[in-house]
Chain A
Amino acid sequence: MMINENSNPFRITTPEDLTADETVSLFVDVFTDFSQIVDPGHVILKGPRGVGKSMMFRYLQADCQCLKTGKSISDLPFIAIYIPLKNTNFSLAELRRLENKHASTVLNEHLMVSHILIRVLDNLISSNGFDNNAQYDEIKAFYRDFEDILGLMQQESTADNSNDYLRLMLKQVKKVYNETISYIKRCSFSSEIPPYTGKLYDYIDYLVPLLESLSNTVSNQKATFYLLLDDAHFLSETQTRILNSWVATRTSRRISLKISTQYNYKTYYTTNGATIDTPHDYVEIDIATVYTEGQKTSKATYYRRISDIVRKRMDIYGISTPLEDFFPCDEKQEQKIKEIEKWYIQQFDEGKGHGSNRTDDARRYARPDFIKGLSGKSKSSSTYSYSGFDQLVNISSGVVRYFLQQAHTMYAKAQALSENGTVEYIDPSIQSAVVREEANRFLFNELEALEQAGHDEAYPKEDIKRLSNLIQGLGGLFRKVLLSDRSERRVFSIAISDTPTEDVLRILDIGLQLGYFHRSTIGRKESGSIGRTRLYVLNRRLAPIWNLDPNGFAGYLFIKNQVLKDAIQQPFRTIRETAVENNDCIQLSLFDMASPVAIEGADENEAN
């Protein structure tokens, strides 16, 4: 990895552009959290941008696996081919001419298969797996199969080495691809679809047999091909249906489709109108949920992952400072919070505590009390310092990129202030300023800008306004809970206690799509009831807007649908008029999975 004195250890690089060496040195093994990705089988991997989907895919590629395991490509149990779908070739305007015509499915599938074939051959060449003429005879034999299966003219040409054979094949597929694009171009300004006379490849009759043949010839392990289709939300609806049809074929022993997508995957229907279902056709993984759902292990796992990622990056740059010292917390602030903690412990010792153990109240109330103190007479809530490694991890809300992006800005600011350009630690004031700027940018620049006017293809502007209201309403409500005397004051999530209406679900869904909420599930609140209900977790990046405590995966509110409806219309009135019930129930944290916090407007029997 190239390092210069001005470079930044937290720089985010597109994984596609990392070398195998760089990838292996930077990658933190997360496959214990997502073992289905490494195992054969179709997977749809969901998550917001920046959770590390592409990095996982890059690491699975053959060049990285050979480097990591010391094996040759022929001995790998799987051969993974990275296929980025961000490529604008899938959004050619000309393809819209074919929409709602039978030709659309056939031509789009051909385009997708040709695209994949080029990526397969190019990946094999650049993986260096066949350097030094490895498996010359096998590759030569495969070349004949290749021409037979694809119906290509038998070439007399021979090649001196394995890679040259692969290049010959690549050249032939590129020619087919070129012809397809030329045809698509001819559709630009012709309202009549011109006749197509070129090759037409599909998944079942061309791609599957071809990759089977390749596996049989080059792999001692009869390796499964993993097609790593990254950013599938970029595909059109027609292309998504085609991809789903491939998933439905259950060819996963020979070809496993590993599909990554953000939450706006277009459809789960296939080209013939059937649906793909989990777990029969594929396994679905939501990375954000794995790292934020209501289990103690989630937070610990995410913390460990981030620590490993940051540690590796700092080590590469020769920074050996412990993470807690490199991102120190505000000492004065922490000292004051510790004093409050001591007071709570003393209260417990005197028999006046609420918690189940000696430190429970201290852990639960000290920081909220400190923030509450700041909002008192001095009205200085905004001086609360969002600093310290732990706090920064919590604020990143389960998304690695958020942490790295903020750390990158902090490092650059610290570097600019340093006389010799070296950064030994990031001052808490820099950390907190960056976190607050980022929160403002996220809510005010991004979301409030969306309110000002809508685009034809964007979310309706009224819905953006409703979402903004809902976020403001919930943030304000969480702040009110924090400043109350409730037994659990660190609240970041809500669940709907009665039947949610479509309008409320739609706004929550837009919030999910835009990353303002994460979704998880919790057990239903009714005593003795079975089943689970949805939990909506506000993105912790927003914590500074309301000076909330982002630490710990805190309590949640069961709220009636009507409260959310009101917040969507009149957030500030809702905050004002929604009294936070002052009961003494034991409010356990989300991780403890016990009684929910209740607020007025919730069912009467829930405030028990």
Chain B
Amino acid sequence: MKRTNIRYLNSSLTDDYDVFVCSSSFENRCLVAPQKLYKKHFDKVIIFHNKQGSEKNHQNAEELHRIFGKKAHLLALDYSNPIEIADTMLSEIKRQPSRKKAKILADITTFTHEMLMIFLKIVAVKKNQVTVTCIYTNAEDYCPSCNVAQKWLSRGCEEVHSILGYSGLLFPSQKNRLVIIVGYEHNRAADVISALEPSFLTLVYGTPDNATTDKNKDANKLYLELVKEMSFDFPSIECVEIPCDNPDMTADVLCKLYNTHVDENIIVIPMNNKLSTIGVAKSIMSMDHIQACYAPAVIYNESDYSTPGSSCYIYEL
């Protein structure tokens, strides 16, 4: 894992790539890395785009298209349909020439958690055909117009479903433990807990010294407390720290956690930054009886979600 100032992104990438992959979003963060990258680094650009997204989302998709010009392929997908997402990713990999491993550079900053997990699983399944470098642009702040106690990014959960490729093996005779990687989306986390009513609850959170945001580094701890407060039905809640800026160490911590609850069905929901979501994916790929779930939000705070930061993380899968 490398961390660099976004200004030095190009010099930090040591390779050329066959394909650059990114996702448009209502967040302007989806534009940060694409604006900085030298286009000569890659032959083709795939822009995933939520066809049911908001106006802002469409505008940013257009902007990404404009940035990459003729190299760009805008793929409009239904982000609520994991099968369509997976099949599109697979067919794009198939298109790559088979004579060599395709080198992919992926800006995962504004992938949804579900999309990212599916992408990582496909990369793992097709490891003989592709190598992937992920880049992640941090946020200077989330919900910048609010003070820490009032910040919110999303609310409500419509449903909870397993993520394609991470169905795990949950036995109906065992009790469920919900493991939530808590971030700023504390309202949604509380709604997920309330919807699933697990027997046991583990809240996994990041610490200030490894927060990827530039401001309010201790916010994760505050939101952990808020989720705990909202989960008053649980007499005891297990809390576990992870380094949110380090997928490998996150995966290690999670694997140890899974091993302490061997007689329970474990359901993990990634809701912190995308680097920690890579850690979640890696941990489950090594212990595939664990299930990962996704709970799409009812609403996102689109008008005040984040401001782009100045750091970029580079991670070789």
Contacts and interface: CB of A to CB of B under 8 A. Distances in A.
B233 A12 contact: yes
Given A188-B165, A449-B155, A457-B158, A88 B83 contact: no
A231 to B, nearest CB: 9
Contacts of A115: 172
Contacts of A412: 232
Interface stretch (A178-186, A320-328, A333-341, A585-593): A178-186
Nearest to B297: A455
A184 B167 contact: yes
Contact of B167 (A94, A121, A449): A94
Interface stretch (A13-21, A71-79, A146-154, A274-282): A13-21
A541 to B, nearest CB: 16
Contacts of B235: 7, 11
B232 A11 contact: yes
A93 B173 CA distance: 21
B171 interface: yes
Interface string A98-129: 00000000000000000100110110000000
Contacts of A445: 155
Nearest to A16: B199
B82 A93 contact: yes
A93 B163 contact: yes
A96 B54 CA distance: 25
Contacts of A94: 162, 164, 167
A119 B174 CA distance: 10
Contact of A458 (B176, B291, B298): B298
A458 B158 contact: yes
B54 A453 contact: yes
Interface string A218-255: 00000000000000000000000000000000000000
A8 B234 CA distance: 11
B196 interface: yes
A24 to B, nearest CB: 20
B172 A89 contact: yes
Contacts of A191: 87, 90
Interface in B111-143: 121-122, 125
Contact of A88 (B155, B173, B291): B291
Contacts of B161: 88, 91-93
Contacts of B159: 91, 457
Interface in B70-122: 78-83, 86-87, 90, 121-122
Contacts of B122: 189
A457 B80 contact: yes
A482 interface: no
Interface string B188-200: 0000000111010
Contacts of A174: 171, 173
Interface in A380-394: none
Contacts of B299: 449-450, 452-455, 458
A421 to B, nearest CB: 17
A177 interface: yes
Nearest to A115: B172
Contacts of A89: 162, 167, 170, 172
Contacts of A446: 156
A354 B169 CA distance: 69
A456 B175 CA distance: 32
Nearest to A96: B83
B197 A14 contact: yes
Contacts of B172: 83, 87, 89, 115, 118-119, 122, 177
A445 B187 CA distance: 10
B302 interface: yes
Interface string A429-448: 00000000000000001100
A449 B303 CA distance: 13
Contacts of B163: 93
Given A93-B82, A118-B171, A88 B158 contact: no
A12 B232 CA distance: 8
Contact of B199 (A17, A83, A178, A449): A17
Interface string A1-37: 0000001100111101100000000000000000000
B293 interface: yes
A92 B199 contact: no
A68 interface: no
Contacts of A458: 156, 158, 298-299
Interface in A167-210: 170, 174, 177-178, 181, 184-185, 188-189, 191
A408 interface: yes
A97 interface: yes
A456 B156 contact: no
B240 interface: no
A456 B79 contact: yes
A576 interface: no
Contacts, number: 129
Given A88-B267, A88-B293, A178 B167 contact: no
B83 A14 contact: no
Given A454-B299, A457-B159, A87 B170 contact: yes
A92 B166 CA distance: 9
Nearest to B269: A88
Nearest to A174: B171
Nearest to B299: A453
A454 B293 CA distance: 21
A455 B172 CA distance: 31
Contacts of B297: 455
Given A16-B199, A91-B162, A450 B298 contact: yes
Nearest to B169: A181
Contacts of B79: 456
Contacts of A181: 167, 169
A304 interface: no
Interface in B212-271: 232-233, 235, 267
B52 interface: yes
B86 A189 contact: yes
B298 A455 contact: yes
A189 B85 CA distance: 10
Given A7-B235, A88-B160, A453 B302 contact: yes
A271 to B, nearest CB: 22
B300 interface: yes
Contact of A185 (B81, B90, B158, B167): B167
B183 interface: no
A170 B293 CA distance: 27
Interface string A118-142: 1101100000000000000000000
Contacts of B301: 452
B197 to A, nearest CB: 5
Contacts of B279: none
A115 B293 CA distance: 19
B173 A189 contact: no
A534 interface: no
A293 B98 CA distance: 69
B226 to A, nearest CB: 13
A284 B170 CA distance: 32
B206 interface: no
Contacts of B197: 14, 16, 86
Given A189-B90, A456-B80, 10 more contacts: A17-B199, A88-B291, A93-B161, A93-B163, A93-B164, A174-B173, A449-B298, A453-B302, A455-B156, A456-B52
12 contacts: A14-B197, A14-B233, A87-B176, A118-B172, A181-B167, A184-B167, A450-B155, A450-B156, A455-B156, A456-B80, A457-B159, A458-B158
Interface of B: 52, 54, 78-83, 86-87, 90, 121-122, 125, 155-156, 158-165, 167, 169-173, 175-176, 195-197, 199, 232-233, 235, 267, 291, 293, 296-302
Counting from the closest, the 3 A-B pairs by CB-CB distance are A122-B173, A93-B164, A91-B161
